[in-house]
């Protein structure tokens, strides 16, 4: 009883704070100074139809590099702690997957991977980008793990793709330093025609590397969790 009354008092206090906040709230109608600059000069400077992509890849490209590094670290830590130590080689007795799910997965997995590639190649025109496309590719591969448990994908292949795309991302950034204004500047190979697929300079190339890297990292996490189910 006393405890409930205490919770009730806390709720009333939180409600009073929130009422004050709501009463003083006026929506931000105008853009801020930096946002105004991005919206006004973004299409001319970067050449990307999607302003969010311009901000994420070019203006704040260094932050994206940091995010990718964090993801790489977490994937490496998961792989380190979930090392497989299956000594007695006992085969797990899984319940068989049904014919319908098997056939559907054979049709759907290529379509999902293709859709992920579409999302990260069109990142400068439509919503989405490297991170989302990589997540879609990883979920397509997870569908394959579930529907066909016998199929093997090596960790080695995933690690090679991940390393190559990570190196490629950094090299594109350094190319920006050499041939354009600074690190991760996208004006390396010319901006192209605004609003077409081959435009916005280096953004599609950077997004291909980011997408492959994120997709292989998330797939690696799911794969080590799946292989680790064997141990008792």
Partner 1 sequence: MENSIVEIIGAFLVLIGSVFLFLGALGLVRMPDVFNRIQTGTKASTLGTFLTFFGLVFIMPEWWGKLILLIIFILMTNPVSSHVLARAAYCIKVPMFKKTVIDLYGKDAEKLFKKETKNE
Partner 2 sequence: MLNIILAIFLGILIIVLAIMAVLNKNIVVAIIAAGAVSLFASVLYLILAAPDVAMTEAAIGSGLSTIIFFYVLNKINRQNG
Partner 3 sequence: MVNKILFIAALIMMLAILLTLYRFFKGTTAADRLVAFDVMTVSSLSLIGLIAKFSDRIIYLDVAMVYGLLSFLGVIIVARYFEKGL
What is the binding site for partner 3 (CB under 8 A)?
94-95, 97, 101, 112, 115, 119, 126-128, 132, 136, 139, 142-143, 146, 149, 229
> Of these partners, partner 2, partner 3, partner 1, none, which one is at the site of residue 199 (CB under 5 to 8 Å by kind)?
none
The closest of 190, 223, 231, 206 to 123, measured between CA atoms, is 206
CA gap 121, 195 in Å, rounded: 13
Subset of residues 52 to 91 that bind partner 2, contact rule: CB under 8 A: 52
Contact between 89 and partner 1 per CB under 8 A:
no
Stretch that binds partner 1, among 2-10, 90-98, 128-136, 181-189 (CB under 8 A): 90-98
The distance of closest approach from Cβ of residue 201 to partner 2 in the complex, given in angstroms and rounded to an integer, is 20
Contact between 228 and partner 2 per CB under 8 A:
yes
Interface residue with partner 1, options 93, 151, 154, 193 (CB under 8 A): 93
Q: How many CA atoms lie within 13 A of 116 on its CB side?
A: 25
CA gap 215, 208 in Å, rounded: 11
- Share of the chain residues as helix, strand and coil, in percent rounded to the nearest 5: 70, 0, 30
Estimate to the nearest angstrom the gap between the alpha carbon of 137 and the chain centroid: 10
Element (H, E) at 134: helix 130-147
Residues that bind partner 2 (CB under 8 A): 50, 52, 119, 127-129, 131-132, 135-136, 138-139, 142, 218, 221-222, 225-226, 228-229, 232
């Amino acid at each position: 009883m006393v405890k409930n009354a205490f919770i009730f008092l806390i709720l009333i206090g939180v409600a009073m704070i929130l009422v004050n906040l709501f009463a003083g709230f006026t929506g931000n109608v105008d853009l801020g100074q930096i946002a105004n600059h991005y919206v006004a000069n973004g299409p001319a400077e970067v050449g990307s139809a999607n302003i969010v992509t311009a901000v994420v890849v070019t203006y704040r490209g260094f932050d994206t590099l940091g995010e990718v590094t964090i993801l790489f670290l977490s994937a490496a830590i998961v792989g380190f702690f979930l090392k497989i130590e299956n000594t007695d080689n006992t085969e797990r007795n899984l319940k068989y997957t049904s014919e319908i799910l098997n056939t559907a997965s054979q049709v759907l997995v290529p379509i999902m991977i293709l859709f992920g590639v579409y999302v990260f190649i069109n990142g400068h025109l439509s919503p989405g980008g490297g991170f989302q496309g990589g997540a879609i590719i990883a979920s397509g591969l997870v569908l394959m793990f579930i529907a066909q448990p016998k199929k093997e994908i090596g960790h080695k292949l995933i690690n090679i793709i991940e390393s190559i795309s990570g190196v490629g991302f950094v090299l594109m950034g350094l190319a920006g330093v050499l041939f354009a204004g600074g690190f991760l500047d996208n004006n390396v190979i010319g901006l192209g025609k605004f609003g077409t697929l081959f435009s916005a300079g280096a953004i599609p190339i950077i997004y291909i590397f980011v997408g492959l890297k994120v997709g292989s990292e998330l797939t690696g996490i799911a794969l080590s969790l799946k292989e680790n189910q064997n141990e008792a």
